[in-house]
Chains A and B, each alone.
Chain A
Amino acid sequence: MKKPLSLILSLICISFSLGGCQGDNGNAMENDDIIVRESFIFDDIELESKGIINSFTIMGDNRAALLFMDNNTQKSCFGIYESNKPVTEKEIAAGYSDICYDKEEGCFYAFNSIEKEIHKMDNSFSYVSTVTKEPEAFEIRGMDVIDGSLYYIYCTKNTYDPNVQLEVLEESTGYCDFGEAAYCVDIGSGEKSPLEIEKPICQYASGGKLYYYTFSGESYYLNEYDRENNRLVSLYTDRDMSYISGFAVHSDTLYYIKWGDSVISKKDMKSGDAFYIPLDIVVCKGSDFKSYKSEPIILNRADMSIRKLSEAKYAESESFKFSGESLVIGYFYKYSMPIDTKKLNEDIGITASVYEYPIYDNEMKLKLLACDSDVDIYIFTTNRRIGRDIRRMGCYEPLANEAIIDELDDCFDWVREYSANDNGEIWCMPISANQQALFYVPENLERLGIDISELKSFESFWAALEKIRMDGRYGFFSRATQEFGEAMTASYNINYSFFDYDTDIFRNMFTRVYSDWLLWSNPAEGSAENPLFNNMNSSKKNISTENAAVIFDNLKLFRNDVTDCEKWCAMGIPNLTDSEEKYPVSIEFAIINPASKKKEAAEAYLGHIAQNRLKYRSTTPFFYKDLSTYDGCVDKSAAYFEGLYELSENSQVYDAFLEIKEDYLDDVAAYQKGEMTIDEYIANIERISEMTENE
């Protein structure tokens, strides 16, 4: 995935402040190690001027210096944060964008982006002297003082200008060369020397050492800078690592934030294990590498609070621990996978390949029953009875991943009810939901003299279809009669476990839906005489408000076939009875193969999908309660959204009891051909139901 570095330094060049060194007093608790002091834990800074914190630096003595841009005045402000005290602010006119603190000298160094100079400033942020001039510099990408020398990186091109971004972008790698250069200035003599670092991107300091983030070949590298020999020692590389917006090192552990991530990554340099520390806030910089020995602290840009990062509080994401692992997902057709495996592979380093099963679940059943460990994750659908059988026979590995459980808590009750077995164990993770709905055009229905309430019950719905048909202007479209009939059947008895077919209601629905099948055109046989009841698999794909009034479909297919989706509303399918019913929904769900040898990695993989909600799902499942979850994935302003959401609230999974094609539809074909009466059909289907349940 290409990640242009366009917004790299919009705010912060950040690093964690972790140090491995003892304070001057030698006692961690008593020295000026800010991190460990209780007062720094979860302190919220109250700043009078609200704005964006561009930079901050740990001064020691339980203090941090902030450099922020006041939103109101657009002026730079310096502030000193000291525990339990309001931040001391000093407004300055010039455009300072980066700051670091020299504890030995007790002064600040700050880059003035207007004058293009690095200034030395005293503790009250008053100008002392100009350390160096950098007329070429557009912005600083890291500045730190080590042993009397000031190290910094700057870029020479405007990183915010899209034209510049395009100009400097390397298409194949995503790397943007903004003309970065690294320098070292001896503070005493003022002598400046360039550092021989190829393609540097950013600089960090922690634990008395310097680190550089560079690009080479096709990968990004995190390097430790060997000052004595003026060379880089690579610590970590990732082809797709992108920019690091936060960094620190402590006791052989790297902490860093990949740009765009809302997690802090942690990598143990000895074992190579990597973890995510999921976090909603992104920040922190600390450059007092000599004073820190404890956990990193973080500065929340959004609410301007300084919080201590406690690993105990933030659960580590399991997925990163298994980076490098490869999994196999069993699904019937890889091109319609409900999971975006490519994106996931890139993001978390666990590669998953899809093993196709053209004969679908029979082949998968064989592998499952044979305890075959080839496949790690199976994805099934409740459209087939396999879901029911898996749950009944215990052919799954219970899921205990917190992210999965959290996601289920955010879903409607019916999702959780389906995912939990009688013992309360989570046996599957829902991936997608397929709600069948009626999409309708209110204006067209109005023209036809049809009230929307008429679509709610089967009898009046059928009468409304007749009105549409008689009028001739618009059509009722459905992908297949089977699906409509199946959905209607499911809606009648949501339990679907022992459907009572021998009722007037079912006979009525069955004879109407399946007797009128000639009206449903089959593209192989040419267009229907009546444009009404058109099969949506036909060439009539450009369905719009011009030619249709009602469509029966699911959201994914609806969005494919209809040209002006935003004008359509949605509602549940008509009820066969007058009683309050839930709307049927089928879901695709993932289970971990109990025979898999990579169960932990598989669970971490699923957990990562759950944690990120819709990010890695190919379609938008309507099973989350929180509307904000759908931001960016569905047009919430579209008229159909509200109807679909309401429908989702009142849904229930219909767990297929009979195999539709084999057990249900074959006899439908016989009935339609006149080879079977409806009584014979009902007798046979009931016999099959009985045998399915009891054999």
Chain B
Amino acid sequence: MKKRKSIKWNTKCKLCLLPSLMGTAIFFVVPYLRVLYYSLIDNQFRRNFVGLDNYLETLKNEYFRLALINSVLIIVVAVPVLILLALLISLILSFGIRRLRSLRTAFILPMLIPTASVVLVWRTIFTDTATPLPIYLLFIWKNIGICIILLTAAFTSIDETIYEAARLDGADAFKAHTRITVPMIMPTVLFSVLLSIVNSFKVFKESYLFFGSNYPPDHSYTLQYYMNNNFLKLDYQSLATSAVLTSIIVFVIVIVGIIIQRRWDT
């Protein structure tokens, strides 16, 4: 009886998932496979298989490496700052003045404002283009909202009774936070980190509009620029190869994040 019910339930689940899976397949999987195919041929019209030659060429390219380094720098510099700031603000919102909680949704506004409008303002504020600071700050400003929302939700979802129990057991505030709060929000923090890392790879239009050129200063030349410029030069193979390499990097980061998260859970 249970088995039959399980089969019926599984079938129903699959049917419900089918539209979403089909959409994913059509709009993500199939195009990805196509890009992968293009990265293995010399030209989309001649279609001669060249194996990994395109990959080797791309990895040897100094500008690809420059773009990769700059993209990684955003992860290494901007993402931690983003998460720390988001944590701080979330703490204030969750444990500070309760009235401020209603302002939570206001932090989403940066994500809603058109990038072009933001960049106009940014360019009047930041006139010095000698460093990538304006871009990092813009990235942080745009993405902090979602992190705050997630972290605040995580904070407020912790049951008060646990803290009460800890107090009864003699735990001070420090211990309560380190032994309760941190472990309980860690999955959300990890998720926010992963989300921010993925979003960091999408930093392009802000930078493009800010510098107004296909060739920004070296410090802001990211993978997106590399790909965009190769598209403009009709070099689809370089574009496809770098896109696949980027996806592999993101995939590895996400897998590592998931592994850490699972280990943390256990």
Contacts and interface: CB of A to CB of B under 8 A. Distances in A.
Interface stretch (B163-171, B175-183, B231-239, B248-256): B231-239
30 contacts: A362-B232, A365-B231, A365-B232, A365-B234, A369-B44, A369-B231, A369-B236, A371-B44, A371-B45, A390-B234, A392-B233, A393-B43, A393-B234, A394-B43, A394-B45, A394-B46, A595-B45, A659-B232, A688-B213, A688-B215, A691-B215, A691-B229, A692-B233, A694-B61, A694-B62, A694-B63, A695-B61, A695-B63, A695-B64, A695-B229
A694 B62 CA distance: 8
Interface in A579-594: 594
Contacts of B215: 663, 687-688, 691-692
Contacts of A394: 43, 45-46
Contacts of B236: 369, 393
Interface residues of B, number: 21
A365 B226 CA distance: 17
B213 A386 contact: no
A365 B43 CA distance: 14
B63 A395 contact: no
A695 B232 contact: no
Interface in A345-398: 362, 365, 368-369, 371, 385-386, 389-390, 392-395
A688 B29 CA distance: 35
Given A369-B44, A385-B233, 5 more contacts: A365-B232, A365-B234, A390-B234, A393-B235, A694-B62
Interface in B221-263: 226, 229-236
Contacts of B232: 362, 365, 659
Q: How large is the interface on A (under 10, 10 to 19, 20 to 34, 35 or more residues)?
A: 20 to 34
B234 A691 contact: no
A690 B150 CA distance: 44
A385 B226 CA distance: 17
Interface residues of chain A: helix, strand, loop or mixed (majority) = helix
Contacts, number: 59
A666 B230 CA distance: 21
Contacts of B61: 694-695
A369 B229 contact: no
A695 B230 CA distance: 8
Of residues B61, B212, B215, B235, which shows the largest number of chain A Cβ atoms within 10 Å of its Cβ? B215
Contacts of A385: 233
A122 to B, nearest CB: 70
Interface of A: 362, 365, 368-369, 371, 385-386, 389-390, 392-395, 594-595, 659, 662-663, 666, 687-688, 691-692, 694-695
A393 B46 CA distance: 10
Contacts of B230: 695
A365 B212 CA distance: 21
B213 A663 contact: yes
B214 A662 contact: yes
B234 A368 contact: yes
Nearest to B235: A393
Contact of B45 (A365, A594, A662): A594
A395 B45 contact: yes
B213 A662 contact: yes
B214 A663 contact: yes
Nearest to A694: B63
A594 B43 CA distance: 11
Contacts of B213: 662-663, 666, 688
Given A663-B215, A695-B61, A695-B63, A389 B45 contact: no
A662 B213 CA distance: 7
Given A393-B43, A594-B45, A695-B226, A369 B234 contact: yes
Nearest to B38: A369
A663 B213 CA distance: 7
B184 to A, nearest CB: 46
Contacts of B231: 365, 369
A371 B226 CA distance: 22
Interface string B34-51: 000000000111100000
Of residues A394, A666, A694, which shows the largest number of chain B Cβ atoms within 10 Å of its Cβ? A394
The 5 closest A-B pairs by CB, nearest first: A695-B63, A594-B45, A389-B234, A393-B234, A688-B215
B240 to A, nearest CB: 10
B113 to A, nearest CB: 25
A155 B235 CA distance: 66
A385 B233 CA distance: 8
A687 B229 CA distance: 14
Given A368-B234, A389-B233, A666 B44 contact: no
Interface string B52-77: 00000000011110000000000000
Contacts of B63: 691, 694-695
A119 B129 CA distance: 98
A422 to B, nearest CB: 15
B207 to A, nearest CB: 15
Of residues B214, B226, B229, which shows the largest number of chain A Cβ atoms within 10 Å of its Cβ? B214
Nearest to B43: A394
A688 B230 CA distance: 14
Interface string B65-100: 000000000000000000000000000000000000
Contacts of A392: 233-234
Contacts of B62: 694
A371 B46 CA distance: 11
Nearest to A389: B234
Nearest to A361: B232
Nearest to B64: A695
Contacts of B46: 394
Nearest to B46: A394
B106 to A, nearest CB: 36
A682 to B, nearest CB: 15
Contacts of B235: 389, 393
Contacts of A365: 231-232, 234
Interface string B110-124: 000000000000000
Contact of A395 (B212, B226, B229, B234): B234
Contacts of B44: 369, 371
Interface in B197-233: 212-215, 226, 229-233
Contacts of B212: 666
Of residues A385, A393, A594, which shows the largest number of chain B Cβ atoms within 10 Å of its Cβ? A393
A389 to B, nearest CB: 4
Contacts of A368: 234
A386 B45 CA distance: 17
A386 B51 CA distance: 27
B213 to A, nearest CB: 7
Nearest to A388: B233
A274 to B, nearest CB: 31
Nearest to A385: B233
A571 B64 CA distance: 46
Contacts of A695: 61, 63-64, 226, 229-230
A360 to B, nearest CB: 12
A691 B216 CA distance: 11
A595 B212 CA distance: 33
Nearest to A390: B234
A259 to B, nearest CB: 43
Contacts of B214: 659, 662-663
Nearest to B44: A371
Nearest to B127: A675
A687 B215 CA distance: 9
A386 B229 contact: no
A293 B232 CA distance: 60
A157 to B, nearest CB: 59
Contacts of A692: 215, 229, 233
A392 B237 CA distance: 12
A376 to B, nearest CB: 15
A267 to B, nearest CB: 35
